[in-house]
Structure 1
Amino acid sequence: MIIRDGASRAHGQTVGRLLVSAALLPLAIASAAQAQDVPPPQEDETTTVDEVVVTGIRAAIQSSIERKRDETVVADVLSAEDIGDLPALSIGEAIETITGASTHREKGGASEIAIRGLGPFLGAATFNGREATNGSGDRSVNFNQFPSELINTVAIYKTQRADFVEGGVAGIVNMETIQPLDFGRRRFQIEGRALYAGYDDRLNDNAGVGWRGTASYIDQFEIEGLGELGVSLGVQSLEGTNPEELFTSSSTWVACNGTQVVAVTSNCTTVTPAQVAAGTPYYLTAGSRTYRQFVENDQRDAIFAALQWRPNDQLEIGFDYQNSQRTYTEERNDLNFSEAFRGVGNRVVTGDGVLLAYTGNSTIESTPTYRIRDEQYEGGGLRLTWMPTDRLTLETDISYSSTFRSEMDRQVRLRSNATDINGVVVPGVINGQRVAYSFDVQGRDIPGIVVSPVYDLTDHDNFSAAARLRRDESVRDNEISAARFDGTYELADFGLTRVKAGLRFSELTYRDNDDRVEINVTTAATIRNANLACRTEFPQSDFLNNANGNTISRWATFDALCLFQSFTGTDDTGPNADRRAIGDRDVTEETQAAYVLGEFDSELFGLPVTGNVGLRYVRTEVTSIGLRSGLNVINNPDGTIRLVSTGQFESQTINGSSEAWLPSVNANFALKDDLQLRVGLFRAMSRPDPSALGAGRTFNLESGNAFTSVDDAIASITANGNPRTEPLLSWNGDLSLEWYPNEDSIFSAAVYIKQFNGGFIPALLNETYQIGGQTVTIPVVQDVTTDDDSILTGFELTAAHRFSNLPAPFDGIGFKVSYNYADSDYETQDLRLGDQINPATGVVTPGIVEPAGIFGLSEHVFSGSLYWEIGPVELQGIYKYRSDYYQKFVGAPSQNRYIRDTGVFDFRATYRVNSNLSFSFEGSNLNDEPRIHDMPILGSIREYNTYGPRYYLGARYRF
């Protein structure tokens, strides 16, 4: 594991200008060279027409248009003829430029993919046509694990075909690597990029420039007597930083009584749905508010390899392997207002319960955290294709995919107190440990929190109480083993051109475990010694200075590992001797599928028509093992409680199963040589995430210091999954009109409709637990499947064109734009404040807040790219926008979270010295777009996250 040290804004702007200048310098040189070196044409010379070799952005667009035109389903493709030519910094950012696709941005990069406004749960992602694992507990792919330089095609299939892997209501994202024999030529390529994070200049101890290096080799060999052998090998290594700045809130929100005058020593009183229905006003508030300064140091090493052997015209054997190891460390410094329910007065509240301003008092905590995550992806497969006759093709594919993620936090909390570490009374502290503050988000990007003017947040002495150490470790292990068998038979004079049938078997396993070691320290002398030994200067300048309205720019910070050492005598206490917990998941999902598909090439309504019709049958069986145990109540020294297992566990196995028949038909009508009409009708399914099939339980404890009983302290018990959850099924229709005027141009419009059969709603199930020697019956919140139907409708537009008819140099200008609109009546109820159903009676209790829509649904998604090729120089600007959307937390049921509108601008410049050597400059998020979360309704701010622009300066050599 490599740990790198993670300094002013003016310096960063200077660096940015230098990088841009360096990137644009070749343009000026090239233009001058063209003006001087190109001789005038000679009237009497014989004209020789040379072959035009198209490269770069134009080549990628041409290839993508060609692939889309040739597809047998409604699809959009980003393709490059040569390895490493995808016009994007990452696979996620490449997908963002495809029509109808958008991403959720994490740590400054594109992560989860939404297709046509539908989140990753309703889509599927495959790698070389196979399911791929990840370490998050969902079915999306961690695109950061796959180097974009080693991927050549990303396709989104928006209608289904019977021989596709099932799982794509929204569509299927498939990434492909090069097949070396099909590539057809030798290629050795090395590429290096310097990476610079714009916010790195704010850090007092900046990490400087990172790097990313890639090398690839492709070759083909004729082996006497053994046919042809193709070899492909690619490796990449990366080191960089991802500094971020954050204001956030807890993920637990309540509705408080708006008529209550809350005492400064009390929490607000929550309201019931019945009270709200009767007219009781309410306001929405989070349990805590946090400022976070942190920097991530990232290292990734990847290797991709492939062999393609063709001993004769009848037999082909292919093998591919991928391995990606990613390690990152994160150093956090949190300033936490831990009691946001307490003493809430002077409230300004909107009609729908959004709390815009108030006063309160809270304990204040300085909490440093050191996090380290290791994640390894390993996958590959063996494919055998045999043609025993000219008409019959048999194919077998055996594959394996595995992701293992281990993450460990070492966190120490130091709290405000009536006296400092020297026993001196601290001005501004009330009620023992608390400090008065005001909160105001009116007319601001970010809430302004102002503490009592006599309390100094930057004074280390003031954090002198209730030291709490936590060692949290989570392990996620996801594996998929699969095999498929396909046979294709070519027909003649039967109306069908070929028939295809096949079987697929897969076994997915998902296991996770969370382990917590907690140590509380109250001895004043011990806290004083650790406080003095482990102080740090606030690590950066200009904290959240981009956020309009921010009021806190620094606070007293400490070194987390130093505090651990001071309190325990070691950097790492190690895990609990018994790591078992009632929240553990152990899920096995077995899938058997069979299909038959016919392809046709005929005439209908006087028009040539090609396409396919098929039927797929899928059976899924789930076995989920959970643990149950009694719980002991532990009273913390600060007056709160925690629950610890008694160590006596019982295993509980829950089984679930489902069947689905998935018919599909795709037809492509050739209206003209350059005009196509595609029709797609199909039924599709999306399975629940593996983590949503768990059989474990999670306890949520209310904030506060005094409870009259254990069940008062327990807000709720949440099931971390439901093994009996059935897949979401939908009937789908697509209509796409596509015009291909030339190889550089496409204009297409598509409309689509989806009818979902089923949905999810929180259900309350009473369960009995032994807690602290008492028998307690508590309602458990669990998502259950409903029989409700809902509709999604939408349309999408795509246009790409190169203005080749303009005079030089403007003939090198081109563009590609895409827009998607989607709307749905699908509802996702808030876990705590939304509608809830009694599964025994079927009675639905109306909720307090409005439901969200479908996970990932943005009503508007747009991407636009403008490029200009001037001789050896290519310039490209890319803008990506998506409107607000509901973003589900992955890993456990939670309340509704929304992401506001985001628009991001990227830029690329490339100078090709010759066919072998090129230089590039790239910048992402150049407009420094923040990401803003609301919860549990839009307008109620939960989080403001900003990570700044990133710059890349690279060189590539190929021969």
Structure 2
Amino acid sequence: MAYQGNKRHPLSVTPIAAACAMLLWSTTALAQEDTLDTASKVVVTGIRGSIESSIAIKKDSDSIVEAITAEDIGKLPDSSIAESIARLPGLTAQRVAGRAQVISLRGLAPDFGVTLLNGREQTSTSNDRSAEFDQYPSELLGGVTVYKTPDAAMTAAGLSGTIDLRAVRPLDRRERTIAFNVRGEHNGNGSINSGWSANGGRASISYIDQFMNRTLGLAIGYAHLDSPGQQKEYKSWWWGQNNKLPPGNEDVTALKGAEVTATSRKQVRDGLMAVIDYKPNRDLRSVLDLYYSQFDQKEIMRGMMWNSADTVTYTNPQISTIGGTRLLTGGNIVNLEPIVRNDYNTRKDKLFAAGWNTSLRLANKWSADGDLSYSSAKRRETTSETYAGLGRSGSGAADNNFGFRIPTGAGLPTFTPSVDFTNPGIIKLADVGGWGHDATMHHPIVEDKLSAAKVNVKRELDGFFRDFQAGLSYSRREKSHEDVSQRYALKNNRALTTVDGDIIQPTTSLAWAGIPGVLSFDPRAALDRYYDKMPVDTDVAQQDWGVIEKQTLGYARLGIDTQLGRVPVRGNAGVQYVHVDQQARGKAVNGGVITDLTGGTSYNDLLPSLNLNFDLGEYVGDTYLRFGAAKTVARPRMSDMRAGIGAGVDATTRMWNGGGGNPNLEPWRANSYDLSLEHYLGKGSYVSAAYFFKDLKSYIYNQQREFDYTGFPNPSTVVPIQNIGTINQPANGQGGFVRGIELTASLQFGMFAQRLDGFGVQASASGTESSIHPNGPGTSEKLPGLSGVVANLTVFYEKNGFSARVSERYRSKYRGEVTGLFAQRAFSEILAEKQIDLQIGYEFQEGPYKNLSIMVQANNLNNAPYQTIQGSPFSSGAYAPERYTTYGRQVLVGLNYKL
């Protein structure tokens, strides 16, 4: 495991960022050559066609936006829509189980953004609001538009930005199209658990057609994914002193627990998209969108973990000094009680979305449109744990010569047990950790439903304002979370139990961390055969909650199209009035007594917005200066809004104290300002520089507050002095700023010289900083999701059917939201990541194989590790390593064919 100190990662250390800066400030005089006039008349497809379409969307928008368009039907540029989005300037992805899953916009956590599908807000299978983008097959989407500045006519928009996933519109296509896509997949880590394949595949088919003299269009797409996951992980638990070392070493800090695990996954996703597009005449258009996906995941985790807190001693200690802190980095542990884990987990997600939009052109330059939508998300999850080892906790059965070596440089630690932990004759089922149960299982359940209706009227105008729009929308969202915790005890009064041979499976090797292997068995069969259920754990009742939000929104918006002197100006100005009514339910938990709780509040917001686009072409050819200003909001995390509380009366002070959610939370509110300068060099090239500033008027963080516990259950014999006590709960508090710069270049080199035609580069770099401390004033924690530096570089070649691209994504270290113990929300300090992807392809452009293309793709080519450090530093300020995970290279080989 590489030791990482608390070092800054400046922009200059990133080759991507350096390349991007040079591209941005390079001369553009060569773009005026005659070759540009010739090249601009060529209609291109594939990578270059996708870039040109995306640039056209950015250039024509009133707002500051970023866009991705598919190279062709079923061909977005990455295997995951999240990976494609993460390449856009100012956006970045967080890996979950090896997949790019959630997106941070401009340094703010995923919950600050809003995800739309065809312009409509979507529900989520997460515990809160953030979308999990691996639920959306990239093959079914025609493109993505990211709005960095809001528009008053958008009734669902985020504080950090808005991501709009777009399906194709069949009547916008020229002809019938049928496309097939098939790929085989291999994970470079191989099969690390017996019976779990490292191979998989994906396939999709898309059909687009027009009927009834092109008045009726139909688009249907189906995508299937069967993807393997193979994960090798080391994780340290915590570090501390009092380590029973020879005299003079009282200040030495030692690792107090760790785990080494091998996890294999089988991920199966089926997605279906359908669009019916009806346009009988130029005045009427009605479009129905339908989307459904089901994502099933099964995983087996096998490994070893241990607690070396107070019961162990050390021999042959090896001590290293790092950053002024003396660390125990090697030696042998005596009296260690390792725990062998065999866990089986499942998760099933279902998403459904339907939307119907009808637009009508009326007389006297009036038009109207109405929109109805429904979205739902369901998650069913099971996480289980089984424990085995040499004996029960404290029984004296231990490994008395457990070697370890923790490197202070790069690399994984090495652990060398002196006992054969694969031997079923000595490794028994037992509560080795002393946790009061012999196995456990959790069943988190999430359901999310959102219904919405919107009506909009518009009138075209002449003069300073080009049009006027007004509208009204109503939405109702209901989300719930439940968790059933089931503990298990071994039969025969929790007797040590030998695993029968018929459920023992081939040994799982952990040799990459020095451990030869661990006993492997079928944990599902073991739970059925050897365990009885214990009483249900009532403490998790706090995680049972539900939230209902009702939003009514009215808006008015004026489109601007005028001239200031010699400078054409277009854009929009508008205002929204928003009323939100929220109600929440939860549980009061105290000493096993559970009582239902409810609460809620309502609030109003007036949200003005302004977008201006100044055409500076009179002074600098094809150059635009954009300005945006708006008041924006992000509604609180739903898990924070729960009404659930756990509390009790302190026996010493006889005062109430507790913790829980807060159904009276109001949103994050901010004043946002944006400035962007864009210079276009033909259809496929541009450079831009942008600055943004978000002044958050408040931030939600946990606070110790006064609370009235009247009516709260108190089964204890301690009588409180009074009903007023303290509670630790999320509340609106002091805000701060988030600001940053974004530099972007997209250049096709054919504009500089004909011999370079086909070559190109896309590069972006952003630097972001914030004054906000999410745990309140005076604390040191960083804003979740904020990486100080985010950079992307893609170099590509495409000509005569050949295509190749290599991409690198970089983000500096950040504080990320992760799934913690028992599937609950937690935070982790994630170190910088640099991931390289490669794609090579060839498309037959004539002959019997015309429109057939072949492709080889390697994602995570450098097998970039996922690394974290402990959340609190040593006294010297240095940080201890926490997690080192590799997911393996993902190699895909595939065919695409279009009729």
With the length of structure 2 as denominator, give the TM-score of the two structures: 0.84
Unaligned runs of 5+ in 2: 1-37, 432-436, 874-878
AA matched with 2:836: F
Name the CA distance, whole Å, in 2 between partners of 1:476 and 1:205.
Answer: 30
Among 413, 426, 429, the alignment partner of 1:448 is: 413
1:559 aligns with 2:522: yes
Structure 1 residue 185: deviation in Å? 1.9
Shift of 1:921: 1.1
Partner of 1:652: 597
Deviation at 1:112, TM superposition (A): 0.7
* Other-structure match for 1:583: 543
CA distance in 2, matches of 1:574, 1:316: 60
> Shift of residue 262 of structure 1?
5.9
Query: Secondary structure of 2:111's partner?
Result: helix
- Kindly provide the CA deviation profile for residues 754-798 of structure 1, in whole angstroms up to 9, marking residues without a partner as x: 111112332235767646776799965322211x23122211111
Taking the aligned partners of 2:696 and 2:41, their CA distance within structure 1 comes to 52
The 1:711/1:312 distance shift into structure 2, 3 A limit, reads: farther
Q: Distance in 1 between matches of 2:255 and 2:526?
A: 32
CA shift for structure 1 position 83: 2.0
Instruction: Tell me what 1:73 maps to.
Output: 63
**Secondary structure, counterpart of 1:363 in structure 2:** coil
Q: How far off its partner does 1:338 sit?
A: 3.9
RMSD: 3.5
Assess if the C-alpha contact under 8 Å between 1:471 and 1:575 holds in 2.
no
Match for residue 876 of structure 2? Answer: none
Contact 2:251 2:326 in 1 (8 A): no
> CA-to-partner distance for each residue in 1:323-371, whole Å, 9 max, x for gaps?
0011111111131214546669888786798966587865321121111
Q: Which piece of structure 1 moves more, 163-172 or 109-118?
A: 163-172
Structure 2 matches for 1:627-642, cutoff 5 A?
627-631=587-591
Q: Judging changes above 3 Å, is the alpha-carbon distance between structure 1 residues 933 and 669 closer, same or farther for their aligned structure 2 residues? A: same
Q: 2:447 aligns with which of 473, 477, 485?
A: 477
Cα deviation 1:713-750 (Å, max 9, x = unaligned): xxx9642x322222111111111110111112101111
- The reply on whether 1:391 has 2:365 as its aligned counterpart is yes
Distance 1:904-1:365 versus aligned 2 partners, 3 A rule: same
Contact 1:658 1:727 in 2 (8 A): no
Name the CA distance, whole Å, in 1 between partners of 2:123 and 2:536. Answer: 28
Alignment-derived partner of residue 861 in structure 2: 926
Counterpart position of 1:817: 763
User: Are 1:617 and 2:577 an aligned pair?
Assistant: yes
Which residue of structure 2 aligns with residue 757 of structure 1? 697
Counterpart code for 1:723: P
Matched, 1:607 2:567: yes
Q: Tell me, yes or no, if the aligned pair for 1:760 and 1:785 is still in contact at 8 Å.
A: yes
Could you say which residue in structure 2 is the equivalent of 1:54? 44
Q: Secondary structure at the match of 1:694?
A: coil
CA contact (8 A) 2:191 2:264 kept: no
Q: 8 Å contact 1:930–1:944 — kept in the other structure?
A: yes
Matched, 1:907 2:834: no
How do 1:2-17 and structure 2 match up within 5 A? none
Whether the aligned pair in 2 keeps the contact of 1:364 and 1:435 (CA below 8 Å) is: no
Q: Select which of 870, 893, 896 maps to 1:956.
A: 896
Q: Is the 8 A contact 1:430 1:436 kept in 2?
A: no
Deviation at 1:440, TM superposition (A): 5.7
- Structure 2 Cα separation of the partners of residues 933 and 344 of structure 1: 28
Residue type of the alignment partner of 2:578 = V
Shift of 1:433: 5.8
Partner of 1:743: 683
Q: How does 1:298-377 map to 2 (within 5 A)?
A: 298-338=267-307, 340=309, 357=329, 363-377=337-351
Instruction: Give the direction of change, closer, same or farther, for the CA distance of 1:431–1:760 in structure 2 (3 Å limit).
Output: farther
CA distance in 2, matches of 1:446, 1:520: 39
Q: Decide whether aligned partners of structure 1 residues 74 and 214 sit closer, same or farther in structure 2, where only a CA change above 3 A counts.
A: same
SS in 1 for 2:182: strand
In structure 2, what is the Cα distance between the partners aligned to 1:120 and 1:92?
A: 12
* Equivalent runs, 1:247-258 vs 2, <5 Å: 247-249=234-236
Say whether 1:487 aligns with 2:457.
yes
Query: Counterpart of 2:637?
Result: 689
Equivalent in the alignment of 2:227: 240
Q: Measured at CA, do residues 698 and 403 of structure 1 come closer, stay the same or move farther in structure 2, by a change above 3 Å?
A: farther
* Partner Cα separation in structure 2 for residue 800 and residue 932 of structure 1: 31
C-alpha contact (below 8 Å) 1:888/1:896 kept by paired residues: yes
Among the aligned pairs, what percent are the same residue?
A: 25
Q: Distance in 2 between matches of 1:156 and 1:436?
A: 57
Q: Check conservation: 2:399, 2:418, Cα contact below 8 A.
A: no
Alignment map for 1:56-455 (pairs within 5 Å): 56-80=46-70, 82-205=72-195, 207=197, 209-222=199-212, 228-249=215-236, 261=242, 288-338=257-307, 340=309, 357=329, 363-417=337-391, 431=396, 441-445=406-410, 448=413, 450=415, 454-455=418-419
**Structure-2 residue corresponding to 1:916:** 851
Checking the alignment, whether the CA contact within 8 Å between 1:349 and 1:357 is kept in structure 2 is no
The answer to whether 1:510 aligns with 2:479 is yes
In the alignment, residue 629 of structure 2 is paired with which amino acid?
Answer: L
Distance 1:237 1:574 in 2: 40
Deviation at 1:554, TM superposition (A): 2.5
Alignment CA distance shift 1:263-1:203 (3 Å): closer
Note the C-alpha offset of 1:291: 1.7
Aligned to 2:59, what secondary structure does the other structure show?
A: helix
Please list every run of 5 or more consecutive structure 1 residues that lacks an aligned counterpart in the other structure.
1-47, 265-279, 420-428, 632-644, 701-708, 830-834, 836-843
> Does the C-alpha gap of structure 1 residues 314 and 599 become closer, same or farther in structure 2, counting only changes over 3 Å?
same
1:803 matched to 2:749: yes
* Contact 1:897/1:937 (8 A) holds in 2: no
Shift of 1:525: 9.6
The residue type equivalent to 1:852 in the other structure is E
Task: Give yes or no for contact 2:814–2:831 (8 Å, CA) kept in 1.
Answer: yes
Counterpart-to-counterpart distance in 2, 1:785 and 1:90: 36
SS at match of 1:690: coil
For 1:658 and 1:446, locate their aligned partners in 2 and report how far apart those are by CA, in whole Å.
53
- Alpha-carbon contact 1:283-1:349 (below 8 Å) kept: no
Letter of the 2:886 partner, please give it.
T
What is the CA–CA distance in structure 1 between the aligned matches of 2:837 and 2:770, rounded to whole Å?
31
Structure 1 residues 338 and 165, CA, compared in 2 at 3 Å: closer, same or farther?
Answer: farther
> What do the CA deviations read for 1:474-514 (whole angstroms, capped 9, x no partner)?
11101111111111111123x21111111121111111111
1:460 is the counterpart of 2:424 = yes
Aligned counterparts of 2:254 and 2:729: Cα–Cα separation in 1: 23
Query: 2-side partners of 1:870 and 1:805: how far apart?
Result: 15
Aligned-residue offset at 1:593? 1.3
CA distance 1:327–1:896, shift in 2 (3 Å): closer
Matched letter for residue 900 of structure 1? L
Residue in structure 1 matched with residue 15 of structure 2 by the alignment = none
For residue 615 of structure 1, give the secondary structure of its aligned residue in structure 2: strand
Indicate the residue corresponding to 1:861 in structure 2: 790
Distance 1:199 1:122, change over 3 A: same
**What TM-score do you get using the length of structure 1 for normalisation?**
0.79
Structure 1's 49 and 381: CA in aligned 2 closer, same or farther, altered over 3 A? Answer: closer
Distance between the aligned counterparts of 1:678 and 1:329, measured in 2?
48
CA shift for structure 1 position 555:
2.4
Q: Which residue of 2 aligns with 1:875?
A: 804
* Pairing 1:530-549 to 2, within 5 Å after superposition: 530=499, 534-540=503-509, 543=511, 545=512
CA deviations 1:880-939 (Å, max 9, x no partner) are: 000011112469986642110000000111110125211111110000001012231473
